[in-house]
Amino acid sequence: MAFVHGRPGPHPFHAALARAVGADFVFVDRLLPWHAGGAGRLRRYTSWVLNAVALPARRQRRLILSEGHHVVPVLMRRLRLLGADQRTAALLANEVLYFLYAGRYPPRTERALRTTLAAYDALVCVGSMLTDLARDLLGPACPPLYTIPSAVAEHRLEAFLRVTPAYERPALLFVGNGPDGWRGWYKGIDLLLAAFRRVVDARPDATLTVVGRWDADYLRGLVEAAGVPPASVHAPGPSETLAPYLAEASLYVHPARGEAWGITVVEAMRAGLEPVVSEWTGAREAVRRLDPDLVTPLDPDTIADAVLARWRLPLEE
């Protein structure tokens, strides 16, 4: 098996999955690199063809698993470089399906993405939300679908069990990386800050901590646009250790637009924090089992209401 991935490397969970099935790791642009950004169309298209033709041990691969919707495996099939007994599959855990659903792409890009996804022999979706989206978007052209869960490393889970959240404080936590632009929209940071403005109106002592990689000017602009007091928002940057931030919060909030799962939602739950998540966050299926009221539409007022409702509960609840 070959696991085809982009640069700088695969997501840790996807890499662990590929290692578990004995796959060989192959950069999608091993020849004529372009995936790190800055390459023009000619270089990108040429790289697709070169890497389709020159995939190491191509004829010996029973399965070519792509991290995301890379074109190279599909092109190999189109160029008849694969035998009848060889299969391709895309591991889907990114924003593409929701962005297609939300109409975020130009028509030409949308057609290309739909064609590429439908050309795989199978789609492996992280979480049922993406499985449902793929089925609805691709319709009769949809390849066989397989749903897998996301996972947290065992050593991280053990660390979170030792956390005692600050339930008595009106403190919200969000963990996610931008740094800006479409990534900010995807993570729902604008919704979070708009909701937090309403929270602060009701609870002036409330605070919000945003952990992750964010452009300072971008985040400052969103804070100003939302009318949130700057002193109530803390942005310490990225961190490999989340336990201290979990221990300083009483609620976790994750209003993403189409995030396949949102592993930090599960990590927060493991630490004892209730999460308020959007209905377009894949981890909604786990959160609904805890309390359906914790899953909200993509609406700042509803998100704020859910937060304030939890804070009104007695601490023992």
In this predicted structure, what is the pLDDT of residue 316?
67
Q: What is the pTM of this model?
A: 0.94
**Eight-class DSSP state of 182:** H
**pLDDT confidence of residue 154:** 81
pLDDT at 135: 99
Residues 54 and 40 in one domain: yes
Residues 142 and 33 in one domain: yes
Yes or no: say if 208 and 226 are a contact pair by the CB < 8 Å rule: no
- Tell me: cis bond preceding 179? Omega within 30 of 0 counts: yes
CATH number at residue 161: 3.40.50.2000
> Read out DSSP for 123-137?
EEEESHHHHHHHHHH
Q: Are residues 23 and 86 in the same domain?
A: yes
Domain count, the chain: 2
Tokens of 157: 């889970």
Q: How far is CA 247 from the centre of its chain?
A: 24
pLDDT for res 317: 63
> How far from each other are the two terminal CA atoms of the chain, in whole angstroms?
49
What's the confidence (pLDDT) of residue 199?
A: 99
Residues of the chain falling short of pLDDT 70? 316-317
Query: Are 166 and 77 part of one and the same domain?
Result: no
Distances (CA, A) of 152 to 35, 163, 213, 265: 27, 16, 20, 11
**Degrees to nearest 5, angle at CA 139 with 137 and 143:** 100
State whether 233 and 307 are in the same domain: yes
Name the pairing type of β-strands 171-175 and 207-211: parallel
Q: Show the domain range for 16.
A: 2-148
Please, what is the angle between helix 107-119 and helix 71-78, to 10°?
Answer: 70
Same-domain status, 250 and 228: yes
Q: How far apart are CA 272 and CA 104, in angstroms?
A: 36
Beta strands in the chain (DSSP E): 2-5, 24-27, 63-67, 87-92, 122-126, 145-148, 171-175, 207-211, 233-237, 251-254, 274-278, 295-296
> What angle (nearest 5°) sits at the alpha carbon of residue 125, between those of residues 268 and 294?
35
The model's pLDDT over 51-66, given as tens digits with 9 standing for 90+, comes to 999 999 999 999 999 9
Residue 158 has what pLDDT? 86
Q: Indicate whether 317 belongs to any domain.
A: no
Residues 132 and 164 in one domain: no
* DSSP notation for 108-123: HHHHHHHHHHHHSSEE
